[in-house]
């Protein structure tokens, strides 16, 4: 069986809290070996830690998403540093820049100072992100540009700074020609795959091939869902949302993305790169394993 590495997801999301054990078991049975679970605010860091303590396959990350920067507490940074001190296996994320209708442009220099791999959110702000990274970089520990939808032309500049390019179901929102050009510009040793689950449900002509999660209606909409619904993805029309597949009449409105759908992302990216799925799975797994093999990581314990 192919080994896969979900380089960015949010399994701490309250909308799926009632099915997490079953979800992880299904994903493991389908070849997903590790999940990089990213926090988005002080409120969900405890849940990310709890999941990491409970599951060897979960690699935790702590950070403040740009949408929640204005709601952080005065002690947020000391709290963040304490989380990293207590959890040496943790990386940084999700942080970044957002120019969506509800997003905020933020200075995330403090969060990068932890010297672990950093998972960066960037929506319609790559032109702003590049100079920020140039002023702070390079980043020998690595920077994950999660759900990358920037241009092919910017890839070499980001790569020089230590960036990795992670692709999710959102890639399917781009015109195929643009997606293919951009993918082919990414160095083979910098490509990653992710799901951003429980958001980012991929498009598929064969809906039966997808794994679905029923939303837990007992919980209010998680703030990560609010993040994803805040702005259209790069290159999409202004009246569309990030998760086009969720709006299909063939898919229930309450359906959420499952991390096992990384196999659909794998198939799509492999088809655009003209490589077989097994080869791409090996490449992306090796890249993610190398990136997350820092001192204290679960991968080298």
The mean pLDDT value for 241-259 works out to: 56
Domain boundaries, the chain: 4-300
Beta-carbon contacts of 291 under 8 Å, excluding residues fewer than 6 positions away, are 7, 117, 142, 144, 164, 192
Q: How confident is the model at residue 239 (pLDDT cuts 50, 70, 90)?
A: very low
Residue 258 labelled as part of a binding site = no
pLDDT at 208: 87
Contact 173, 236 (CB under 8 A): yes
Fold classification of 4-300 (topology level) = TIM Barrel (3.20.20)
d(C-alpha 39, C-alpha 118), whole Å? 12
Residue 219 labelled as part of a binding site = no
d(C-alpha 246, C-alpha 232), whole Å? 14
Percent of the chain's residues with pLDDT above 90: 68
Which tokens sit at 208? Answer: 């039966």
Residue 221 labelled as part of a binding site = no
The model carries a pTM of 0.88
pLDDT at 123: 87
pLDDT over 50 (residue 291): yes
Residue 223 labelled as part of a binding site = no
d(C-alpha 62, C-alpha 90), whole Å? 7
d(C-alpha 234, C-alpha 123), whole Å? 6
Which residue's entry shows tokens 């999409």?
Answer: 236
pLDDT over 80 (residue 180): yes
Write out the H or E segment, with its range, that includes residue 183: helix 176-185
Residue 65 labelled as part of a binding site = no
Write out the H or E segment, with its range, that includes residue 34: strand 32-38
Higher pLDDT residue, 99 or 51? 51
């Amino acid at each position: 069986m192919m080994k896969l590495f979900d380089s960015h997801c949010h399994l701490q999301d309250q909308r799926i809290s009632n099915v997490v054990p079953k979800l992880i078991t299904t994903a493991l049975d389908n070849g997903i070996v590790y999940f990089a679970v990213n926090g988005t605010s002080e409120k969900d860091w405890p849940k990310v830690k709890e999941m990491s303590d409970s599951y060897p396959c979960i690699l935790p990350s702590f950070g403040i998403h740009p949408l929640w920067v204005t709601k952080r507490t005065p002690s947020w940074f000391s709290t963040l540093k304490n989380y990293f001190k207590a959890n040496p296996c943790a990386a940084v994320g999700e942080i970044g820049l957002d120019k969506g209708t509800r997003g905020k442009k933020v200075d995330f220099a403090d969060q990068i100072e932890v010297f672990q791999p950093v998972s960066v959110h960037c929506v319609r702000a790559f032109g702003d992100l590049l100079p920020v990274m140039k002023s702070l970089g390079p980043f020998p520990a690595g920077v994950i540009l999660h759900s990358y939808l920037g241009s092919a032309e910017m890839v070499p500049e980001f790569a020089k700074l230590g960036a990795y390019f992670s692709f999710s179901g959102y890639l399917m929102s781009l015109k195929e020609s643009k997606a293919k050009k951009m993918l082919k510009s990414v160095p083979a040793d910098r490509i990653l795959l992710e799901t951003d689950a429980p958001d980012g449900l991929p498009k598929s002509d064969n809906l039966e091939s997808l794994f679905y999660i029923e939303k837990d209606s007992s919980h209010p909409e998680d703030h990560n869902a609010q993040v994803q619904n805040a702005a259209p993805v790069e290159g999409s029309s202004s009246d569309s949302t990030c998760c086009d597949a969720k709006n299909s009449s063939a898919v229930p409105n309450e359906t959420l993305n499952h991390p096992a759908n990384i196999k659909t992302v794998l198939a799509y990216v492999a088809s655009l790169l003209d490589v077989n799925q097994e080869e791409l799975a090996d490449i992306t797994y090796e890249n993610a394993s190398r990136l997350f093999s820092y001192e204290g990581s679960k991968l080298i314990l």
